[in-house]
Amino acid sequence: MHKYAALCVVSAVLGAVAAGLWTYDWNNSDVQDSRAENLAQADAGTQQTSAKPTGNSVRGDASTLPWIDDDAEPRSLNASNTDDDLAPGAAISLANQAGQPQSIDGSSGDPEFEEILRGLLPEERPAARVYEFANRAVVNINTQSSRIDPLWMWEVPQEGSGSGIVISKQGHILTNQHVVDGARQIEVTLHDGSSTPATMVGEDPNNDIAVIKVDVPADELFPVTMGDSNRLVVGQYAYAIGNPFGLERTFTTGVISSLNRTMRSRNRRLIKGIIQVDAAINPGNSGGPLLNSRGEMVGMNTAIAHAGAEQSAGVGFAIPVNTIKRIVPQLIENGKIIRADLGLARVYQSERGLLIAQLISGGPAEQAGLQGMLVRQRQNGFYIEYMRREVADLIVAIDGEAVKTADRLMEIIDSKKPGEVVRLTVQREGGAGETVEIPVTLGQAD
């Protein structure tokens, strides 16, 4: 009985640790080899959240977001990670938030706070103003979920925690997808210490972005001010607010250490444009804002580099706010990102191109006549399947652009819309046969 109890305790502890800030192993981040790269989300090995969107009343209208301009020309919301898609967005000021300053350059409206500021050193005042301006937009997120114990194969309850950012008066809260992944219950603690349940609105595992929603009066919510991540420069001050180790609304300072890093999400998709900072980020900071000296959010803290210990080593990473501004409206309206799909399940990377290992049955590529390694034959009344490399097509280009990595192929497909036609240049018979150009009408990813 004691052994059984000890095993349960160990299992629960491991589950709790796994639910915290996920860490990014820099040494293994960009390893490319000839192993099959998975192009299908279904094969990515990630859990699907059980807190699914329940209707339009949960999602709402993206036009209510403070940075959406109804009169502006519509922009593509395809979740492409290409740098060209990150159009500069003007810094947005908070609009008429009760009790919250509309500009960090003006008075906070709190005479006591302003008196304290006058007693600080000049170099201390900017950071104090940033925190006063933005801290009420940050919330604490606690989740309850379960996982299958690998030893006993039964469900083990586990808890997780992270940070979130209020982005609208309608109750929309931004966070990392990995913070709420698989959550059966989500509870949000607001700036005043009050707690309320939250509902999943939409999630994008490819970019580690999720939106949840709380049902509270608008005057209790203080949306963050959105900045412009395209205007960041290395060396400028950066500030992080979050809930490391459950310590609510902890404020840390640093600088932008580098820009345009790449890292992989939990489902192994490549995220570009990542911001590197040296402000202390620890487990529980995931989903919190990265701020500039004007108190504007320029990124969302998401991961840390580590050398064994899952704690700050002075190398943190944040998703740029311009990526967030492109993705969030579609999550609110649709609950997901509508992406184009080529219909490839797996490919092998080589110096010559991408060898198709497996096609998605009935998918666009199969319908267009492309061939993978999988061969299915009928023998003696039975169907047998086996792999033959020499029958597979080798993709060498898409729309005239040479492709040698699965990441680049996915990047191009992500920039397209369902229904568009791409032209694949392939070499038949494993690369030993004739070169042909095959048009493929893209489908919609699940």
The single residue of 85, 178, 393, 414 carrying the catalytic annotation is 178
Q: How far is CA 385 from CA 146, 357, 365, in A?
A: 36, 13, 19
How far is Cα 101 from Cα 80, in angstroms, rounded to an integer? 35
How far is Cα 75 from Cα 81, in angstroms, rounded to an integer? 15
Q: Mapping DSSP to helix (H, G, I), strand (E, B) and coil, where does residue 225 land?
A: strand
The single residue of 286, 341, 407, 414 carrying the catalytic annotation is 286
Neighbours of 99 (CB within 10 A): 10
Of 68, 60, 62, nearest in space to 92 by CA: 68
How far is Cα 244 from Cα 316, in angstroms, rounded to an integer? 13
Has 178 been annotated as catalytic? yes
Please list, in sequence order, all residues whose beta carbon lies within 8 angstroms of the beta carbon of residue 235, skipping any fewer than 6 positions away.
255, 256
The single residue of 208, 228, 278, 341 carrying the catalytic annotation is 208
DSSP E strand boundaries for 169-295: 172-175, 185-189, 195-204, 209-214, 225-226, 237-242, 250-264, 270-277, 289-291
∠199-322-442 over CA atoms, to 5°? 80
Of 201, 197, 209, nearest in space to 60 by CA: 201
Which phi and psi (to 5°) does residue 358 adopt?
Answer: -150, 135
Has 286 been annotated as catalytic? yes
Q: Mapping DSSP to helix (H, G, I), strand (E, B) and coil, where does residue 318 land?
A: strand
The tokens describing 308, both together, are 């064994």
> Do the bridges between strand 344-349 and strand 340-341 make them parallel or antiparallel, or are there none, so unpaired?
unpaired
Has 208 been annotated as catalytic? yes
Please list, in sequence order, all residues whose beta carbon lies within 8 angstroms of the beta carbon of residue 119, skipping any fewer than 6 positions away.
none
Catalytic residue numbers read 178, 208, 286
